[in-house]
Structure 1
């Protein structure tokens, strides 16, 4: 299916740089299933044997992970007292056997088609990255759009990250540097902004049969509102409607079920990535402004193939919030440490991999203050990748359970045995 093309129609949204997308793409269908052994990660086309690291044929992967969206309105951004109103937040984590999230790559033309549409998460990103100028990176005059995590920075230290971006902007300026706030070039006309950024780790950087990816979609409509007052005067202000999407996923060459070991144990080490909203302030200080933050770090998965069990530990660092001209009040500070531990079962027949839940999660802010999460619900869903389950990957979600709070962490993890 031909997917929607989002091209940069003004400036600032497409740039050259980075490693480019030439090293992700096709893999042969795993033995035992023409589309990946009945689950996530297998391609839907091809037939010639080739590797995940060095693709030779077009391939579409079904990804497993999680995504969420947040829509709201701000009147007079950056004015004292401006706040987020009309809020609608949604999130969802897919299972190995139930995901419509796809990443397609054509190595001949270096074209990516990605679709991260999930009605349960309120996400609708569908993009094609085919222009060489869609490749972008941090450093230089043009960088990825605001809200994109610089995973290669000293803060996160993740290697081999590639960024692709497309979008459009019309009749808007950015009056507040570093924030998602717009003004109007022509106050008599509405303004719009839309940008989609897709990023992934180059296969072979750390893992050879599975990789992780993330995306963000920022959209805004901006209008100049005029109100006629009773005394004959008028009041004008900017109204900005913001729509944000975030997601993180694992994709790759799935292990056929009959190739997964039935005895022995293994420890898998790799990267974790998550997008988070954390607002515990509505009932304490009356602050309803909620901001997205990225978390990146390490994941350790211990697997007992004989007992059909696993445990997962996450250890990440929290990035800066995406501000929007409102209060800037937030509890989890930049560079806070995130920890979570969970466990579950392997069931290749019914689940296509492994599934479980978290039993604890907490943060430690700079300065040492610890904040333990009350978990209302959680999920871990993953699969094995490569020959003899040499690697694994999956997605997860942790939902906060304290009343009058909006806390939700959704992400992905990958790993390989030493």
Structure 2
């Protein structure tokens, strides 16, 4: 086999390896749909290059049509994958319209005006246009250095579809036709430039996906899988950042502590599976308030917490009351009909320099006050001033009373 044949086989082999790599990422994490589309793009690219390599074995028109169809599909799927990577959806209407225009131009210069240079310009310009559609999805998502690198490589990828054929046309006086195509500078430049850029793009994308995987693993380590909220460790880390900022700015912070009423009876009467549903629904409700710098977490079996920066006690109590009403109004559908449950809340405002444990202890005392005074209510630390101190339990006794030292499962508590 001649050296030129080996050169022609290099791109399909490299493209195939990258296709396997990206599709493997998707197989490991099905949420990475972008990796699947990018992997498919490299697979289609490998097919296009392989057909180009085998062009002498088939009808020239058949090979030309099939090759350009696969090149177009390669561009469409790659642009779609990039769009899904950064915007979670692909602009299919624009991509398919550009693909149709590209193939129409190719057909015109193949069957009507059989000028190979014009056909080459039209096809390259069309594929560049398709890829440019995906380029716009990156522009507003360059938050990390690797994304800026991807954007830069992508710009070069799009530009080369115009620059490369123009440069070859200006520098090469040899005619471009079916007989000279495999030995032409145009052919060599196509395989060389596209191959180098495709490899560079694949490597940068692998780095980007790897960073995402590492970040996802880190997020899972601080996230409670049942409620979707921060777990105890994650909430403590978030609170530390909030307190640091509060100490620098002198602003207040408010903490809301909530506990589902009679949760042990819910588990006993309806099963732990249903208890998990209640936990998940409560987590969803709290997550709706996790904006504006607020942090929400599940720090006990049925105990939830909301930390609000730059918030005074009065506003924190209003937030707690809104959550209480929403939770009390929610219907849980079972075979026995729709059920409603309640939760009790305790609110406390952070004092300057106060640690999380101390703030939690005061919110916990307010929560216990709610439990002792009928449940399904909101109390704050000022309510404790109205109680007989001799009747108060210390924080450890209260937590033991409600079973909050148990593992984070659907169980315990009252």
Normalised by the length of structure 1, the TM-score is 0.21
Larger Rg: 2
More strand by proportion, 1 or 2?
A: 1
Ranked by relative contact order (alpha carbons within 8 Å, sequence separation 6 or more), the top structure is: 1
Normalised by the length of structure 2, the TM-score is 0.21
